[in-house]
Chains A and B, each alone.
Chain A
Amino acid sequence: MLDIKDLQVEYTVPGGVARAVNKANLNLTEGESLGLAGESGCGKTTLGNAILRILPEGGQISGGEINLDGIDLVELSEEKMRRIRWKEISMVFQGAMNSFDPTMNIENQIAEAILIHQRDTSKETALERARELLRLCGINPLLGKSYPHELSGGMKQRGCIAMALALQPKLLIADEITTALDVMTQAQIFTLLRDMKRKFNLSMIIISHDLAVLAKNCDRLAIMYAGHIVEIGTIQDIFDHPRHPYVKGLLFCIPNFAGGRKIIAAIKGAPPSLLAPPPGCPFHPRCPISISECKTAAPQLLSVNTNNHSVACYRKDYKGVIWK
């Protein structure tokens, strides 16, 4: 359904040009839920924004394709893209606090999405549908007349989900949707999301830095580092058989409640500057098992089994202990 090939996104900043996404390759089948993980600044939000083509000022897609059911979104005119936005692909953002216009009530803003794309719908019908969506998402439809500041964070986020589902899109992108919420609300929101996914047969891309959340809610997982996708595969494959040194390090950081005592390793160093990235693999300065090839050319994403598990690393077959 969604096929991203060699996507490149750059930001023009006062210091130069920063490559936020570097030759990203992803695909998504219908009804599948893909997690996109990585630390802050790795490019996952940029990737999400690029799919919808809502990059902020200074950002542009400098290469690659984003194929949605055969149509390349990168090549589309802005006007055509606007018709695709929300109708085929919609998004739920992190700042639920501010995703709604403070001077309009909730149901009007949801109805707005409907009215923009389906011109011949009457206002009343659109409002009815909006209220129905709120009900589906666990909000009392009568609260539709409330203003954003009158709702709690969790309710606002539910409202955002309701709004995202207004046009029954094929793909829903959830960008760090629960980062600002407490753990209980987080669980509720994701339960809601799973229900909606089943009900509407949605494909989803869930962007988060929280591996636990992704493990619970995704079928497949892609890990990004400094703009590169370094490993991608099923949840089982990634958690049980990680191949990339960085991913192994990440998983090693998770304390084990059930098992015995484990020494938690730290990955020394910091992510590279995107303005002047090191040549070759972006992770090699911090990688304990890097070899000379790692410094010259960035490794390609190569398949390691039949289950669509791919890794971008020259040392993907290394079996020893990397992190102590």
Chain B
Amino acid sequence: MSMHKYILRRLIDSASTLFFIIVANFFLFRLMPGDPIKLMIKSYRLTQSMIVRLNQLYGMDKPMWQQFFIYIRNMLTFDLGMSFRYHTPAAPLILDKVGNSILLLLAAITLAMSIGIVAGLIAGWFHGKPIDISLVTSSLFFYCMPTFWIAMVFAAAFVTILPISGMHTLTLYNASWFGRLLDLGKHLILPTMVMTILYIGEMLILARNEVSNILTQDYINTAKAKGLSPRQIIFRHVLRNASLPLVSNAGISLAFLVGGSLQAEIIFSWPGVGRLMYGAAMARDYTVLQGCFYILSLTVVIANFLTDIAYKYLDPRVEY
């Protein structure tokens, strides 16, 4: 299947998944016992202008099906309503923070995949030997750790050495751009380490199983017969084939990773969508909750799409 056709199919797929999500999001909030939107209006003291705006946005007094269409329109134009807590539009509030969350996620995935593949390679090459068993056991150990706890332990351990809160040090406000970049890096270290640990177990086990499998394949034997050294075999043939399940898994695991980043953001006060969502949950700010959920799901859909394309580039065999 050619790349173009594949991209088209995946695009249609992503669009339909997104549509499903939007629909689900709509019903999630409307059909809950005690319609939260109406509850919100009652419990928060809203000014008259806000009520009017709300009606405009949600069509509170219109029939359900009309509300649905208004809702779809809103979602597609990123009009995510008003935050009940802050009395400001929700969309800029959320979109402002998306970049921060993505930064954290990207750093963590890259690190986890790189270390995971190398460790998985070692484990797979020495299948059954002590180093393999200890690597696998450590992976299981990390897999069972709640992210927020890893974060707490790391924070406690490094509290005197590295910053454990926020994204910037306020006092460096007028420092050079390089100084600020370095500062950002310092703030990034702990949250990234925490999330990497969270994900590395899965990557390692996947890589290890795949490497064990690959080493039994005929083409590895052919490569050996051709006179390639073990190093050449690993770099030219094993790595490429072994990274395939990792890439495809990265897409699927993204939803799981977002959950992890949520926790890391809470502990480290990292100003991302996760932390915003946490505050919104505590304050029962449903608009922001709904908006965050939508943005997060959208991010995962886009990331899935991108990883699928990357996968097709790596493995020419894949069909839609």
Task: For residue A57, give the distance in angstroms from its CB to the closest CB of chain B.
Answer: 9
Q: Is the CB of B228 within 8 A of A116?
A: yes
Bound: A82/B315 CA distance, A: 29
Q: Is the CB of B317 within 8 A of A149?
A: yes
Q: Is the CB of A147 within 8 A of B316?
A: yes
Q: Is the CB of B217 within 8 A of A86?
A: no
Bound: A229/B225 CA distance, A: 24
- A246 is an interface residue with CB less than 8 A from chain B: no
Q: Is the CB of B241 within 8 A of A102?
A: yes
A98 and B217 in contact, given A85-B225, A116-B226 (Cβ under 8 angstroms): yes
Q: Is the CB of B225 within 8 A of A82?
A: no
- A224 is an interface residue with CB less than 8 A from chain B: no
Residues on A with C-beta less than 8 A from B171 are: none
Residues on A with C-beta less than 8 A from B225 are: 52, 54, 85-86, 90-91, 93
Residues on B with C-beta less than 8 A from A86 are: 225-227
Q: Which residue of A lies closest to B221 (CB)?
A: A54
Residues on A with C-beta less than 8 A from B316 are: 102-103, 147, 149
Q: Which residue of A lies closest to B228 (CB)?
A: A116
Q: How many residues of B contact A (CB 8 A)?
A: 22
Bound: A95/B236 CA distance, A: 20
- B218 is an interface residue with CB less than 8 A from chain A: yes
Task: For residue B223, give the distance in angstroms from its CB to the closest CB of chain A.
Answer: 8
Between A and B, how many residue pairs show CB distances below 8 Å?
71
A147 and B218 in contact, given A102-B241, A116-B226 (Cβ under 8 angstroms): no
- B9 is an interface residue with CB less than 8 A from chain A: no
Residues on B with C-beta less than 8 A from A100 are: 219, 222
The A-contacting residues of B in range 175-205, CB under 8 angstroms, are: none
Report which residue of B218, B225, B244, B317 has the largest number of chain A beta carbons within 10 angstroms of its beta carbon: B225
Q: Which residue of B lies closest to A82 (CB)?
A: B227
- B229 is an interface residue with CB less than 8 A from chain A: yes
- A309 is an interface residue with CB less than 8 A from chain B: no
Bound: A84/B222 CA distance, A: 14
Beyond the given pairs A54-B224, A102-B241, A112-B236, 5 more chain A to chain B contacts, judged by CB atoms under 8 angstroms and listed by A's residue number, are A87-B227, A101-B219, A102-B316, A103-B244, A160-B222
Q: List 8 A-B contacts (CB under 8 A).
A: A79-B229, A99-B222, A100-B222, A101-B240, A102-B316, A103-B317, A113-B226, A116-B232
